[in-house]
Amino acid sequence: MRAAVYQGESRIAVESVSTPQVGPGEILIRVESCGICHTDLKKIEHNLLPGPRIYGHETAGVVAAVGSEVTKYLPGDRVLVFHHIPCGRCFYCERKLYAQCPVYKQVGVTAGFEPAGGGFAEYVRVMDWIVERGVERIPDGVSFEAASFVEPVNTCLKAVVQMDPRPGDVVAVLGQGPIGLIFTMMLKRWRTTTVVTDTIEHRRNLAVGFGAESAWDPRDSGFEEHIRRLTEGRGADQVIVGASAPGIVEQAVRCSRPGASILLFAQTSKTERIEVSGADICVGERTLMGSYSASVDLQRQSAEMVFSGELPVEKLISHRVPLDAILDGIRLALHPGEKSLKIMVQPQRSR
């Protein structure tokens, strides 16, 4: 089969590799759609993990083969797959900190080499503990592209549930890439007043269409002034940092009120550093929190939010690329143009 193999030193090459063979409790999925996620882009751009490996984890496709012990799925089933599932029994699972579970940290989907998601390939092998709890059927009438959003939607839902906003809260979402726009769509369910920022005008316009009260260029001093006007001078009740950029966390602190919650969502690289006043956190009684990856408890709910159309995620797709053109897609994701948003890799499509 064909796969985009990360070779190390920020290099990817599309080449021929062996199609994975499945064991007794495993399934093989023919990948129809896989979104390009900035978590993988960071690993590639900054060479965070050694090669060779095959990235891609927002994966949807068709069951191509099943192991001898698999009874839940049949060849031809349309499915999406989560690449992490926790054990459910350890210290962290008992506290619902699933992303810290040692089993969760073991990637359970691979197209070969060290497991890394594998969605940037024609086929992926899904290991037994993922088959048991980490696969969802795609209903008729729902596209593979929409289904591939279920995993990132889950990560956003986990973060919002963790923040637990109240109706009427003023929530600032900093960054309106695909993830930031999912947050903006989702916050309508909590009936918040959502104010967003992004440097790209097209994304700001989309955000307003998806429910934002207003959208600002983060370099515009009017943004923080507007937050103050909405809150009688206090500042935002909650801030979601949905992008990674110099000074963005500092801005989150500045635009928030005393006692606010500030959630870091995009700060996933160990090389990133932030510097804020200790007094802004301690004396200001702000809560600085992180949220990473998906929650198995929210897997079905996140799927229904996509399948029902409550979140119009397909409107976020700006480009579709075949596997042989994945480098073009990665470059575009790393250096977005005015209209670029979510980029989908379609491994079964020819150039």
Per-domain residue ranges of the chain: 2-149+311-346, 154-290
Q: Are 117 and 57 in contact (CB under 8 A)?
A: yes
- Residues 6+ away with beta carbon under 8 Å from 228: 234, 235
pLDDT higher than threshold 80 for residue 350: no
Q: What's the mean pLDDT when you consider all of the chain?
A: 96
**Contact (Cβ atoms closer than 8 angstroms) between residue 286 and residue 261:** yes
pLDDT surpasses 90 at 270: no
**Domain 2-149+311-346 coded CATH 3.90.180.10:** yes
The model scores a pTM over 0.75: yes
CA–CA gap between residue 19 and residue 248 (Å, rounded) = 43
Question: Which pLDDT band holds residue 271 (cuts at 50, 70, 90)?
Answer: confident
Residue 45's pLDDT band, with cuts at 50, 70 and 90, is confident
Going by pLDDT thresholds of 50, 70 and 90, the confidence category of residue 42 is confident
Confidence of residue 25 (pLDDT cuts 50, 70, 90): very high
Taking CA atoms, 152 is separated from 21, 71, 165, 347, in Å, by: 27, 28, 20, 20
The distance of Cα 53 from the centroid of its chain, to the nearest Å, equals: 20
- Quick one: average pLDDT of 264-287? 94
pLDDT score at 301: 98
Report, as an integer, the average pLDDT of 248-252: 97
- What is the model's pLDDT at position 343? 97
Is the pLDDT assigned to residue 304 strictly greater than 70?
Answer: yes
What percent of the chain has a predicted confidence (pLDDT) above 90? 93
Per-residue pLDDT, averaged over 294-298, amounts to 98
Q: What angle do CA 58, 132, 299 make, to 5 degrees?
A: 50
266: its two tokens: 């995009």
Selection from 183, 249, 194, 236 nearest residue 216 by Cα? 194
Q: Which residue has the tokens 């309106």?
A: 176
pLDDT value at residue 251: 97
Report whether 73 contacts 63 (CB < 8 A). Answer: yes
Assigned superfamily of 154-290: NAD(P)-binding Rossmann-like Domain (3.40.50.720)
Runs of H (alpha helix) within the chain: 38-45, 91-94, 128-133, 144-147, 150-163, 178-187, 201-209, 222-230, 248-254, 278-282, 299-307, 326-334
pLDDT at 351 (0 to 100): 61
Phi/psi for 6 (5° steps) reads -75, 125
Q: Report the pLDDT value the prediction gives residue 272, as an integer from 0 to 100.
A: 87
Which residue in 236, 254, 266, 111 sits closest to 166, CA to CA?
A: 236
Q: To which residue do tokens 């599932």 refer?
A: 85
Whole-angstrom Cα distance, residue 335 to residue 262?
A: 27
Mean pLDDT of the 151-169 span: 98
Interacting residues of 217 by C-beta distance below 8 A, sequence separation 6+: 197, 198, 199, 201, 204, 223
Residue 48 confidence (pLDDT): 82
